[in-house]
Structure 1
Amino acid sequence: MLRTIDEVMSTPVRTISPDTSLREAAEVMRDSDVGDVVVTQDNRIMGILTDRDIVVRCVAEGGDPAQHTAEEVCSSELATVPPQSDIRDAVHVMRTSAVRRLPVVDGDRVVGVVSMGDLARAVDEDSALADVSAADPNR
């Protein structure tokens, strides 16, 4: 039986405001052992910011993460899925949108994030991606 996204998504969602500095966002990611945060304003999702966004769109360009904000580098054109979606739907959205993480939204409210690793574990717990995703983060 196919599982639904609300069974495999990661919660709680780490959120930041658009004016949060990239340095502060990176600290939230570090302290929460996550690779992304959702950018929200007035409880509405505005974007998703990943550790890779900070590196590629700020640091690699010579920017100072303390001087740039989440709003400046987050991905704002979002693909999302509702919590009732089945795993196949999420895989399809990831493929067609070429993304590794999907915010899970219930109406306007973000309730979780589902990653490729979450889906890999749900589909095949013995896959290499599932093993890597389940491993403790590097310190």
Structure 2
Amino acid sequence: MTATVADSMTANPRTIGAHQSVREAAELMKAHDIGDLVVVDGDAVVGIVTDRDIVVRCLAEGGSGDDEIGRACSPDVVTVESDSHVAEAVTLMRDNAVRRVPVTEGGRLVGIVSIGDLAVDHDPTSALADISAEPANT
């Protein structure tokens, strides 16, 4: 059996609307104990934002919590189809220097897969898998 992205992804990732604020993104991340959100405009995936993006791309550049999330998100988001082989996700991550990729089915968001997810599922003896398998710091 071929391992697909669907085997390792987190289904139903948290999202934020493209016109919502940086503050709302931070509040969602805190409430759900997560470090990233997929940015959507209707059903379209238009970006991804991490807690680090908020700090580096927005706050450190003089932005505020009232700014639209577009100020902080990565706009050139790459996606992968859920039935793609995990090697395709790894190649996308490597070629685009990203650690997480939204997963789609026919253009509709169905999940997100991270480099840590792939390490846990496909390279369980690696240091990254060990770190990724640990509970989050709270």
TM-score, normalised with respect to structure 1: 0.92
Asked if residue 34 in structure 1 is aligned to residue 34 in structure 2, the reply is yes
The structural deviation recorded for 1:63 is 2.2
Hey, what's the Cα distance between the residues in 2 that align with 1:95 and 1:41? Answer: 26
For residues 27 and 12 of structure 2, what CA distance do their matches in structure 1 show?
17
2:107 aligns with 108
Give ranges in structure 2 of 5+ residues lacking alignment.
none
Please state whether the residue corresponding to 1:90 is helix, strand or coil: helix
Q: For 2:19, give the aligned amino acid.
A: D
Identity of aligned pairs, percent?
49
In 2, the alpha carbon distance for the partners of 1:72 and 1:26 equals 13
Unpaired segments ≥5 residues, structure 1: none
CA contact (8 A) 2:58 2:71 kept: no
- Cα shift readout 1:13-48 (whole Å, capped 9, x = no counterpart): 101111211111011112222211111122111111
Query: Aligned letter for 2:105?
Result: D
RMSD (Å) for aligned C-alpha atoms: 1.3
Aligned residues: 138
Distance 1:23 1:56 in 2: 14
1:70 Cα deviation (Å)?
A: 0.9
Deviation of the 1:58 alpha carbon: 1.1
Query: Distance between the aligned counterparts of 1:132 and 1:58, measured in 2?
Result: 28
- When normalised by structure 2's length, the TM-score is 0.93
Q: Which amino acid aligns with 2:32?
A: S
Aligned residue in 2 for 1:99: 98
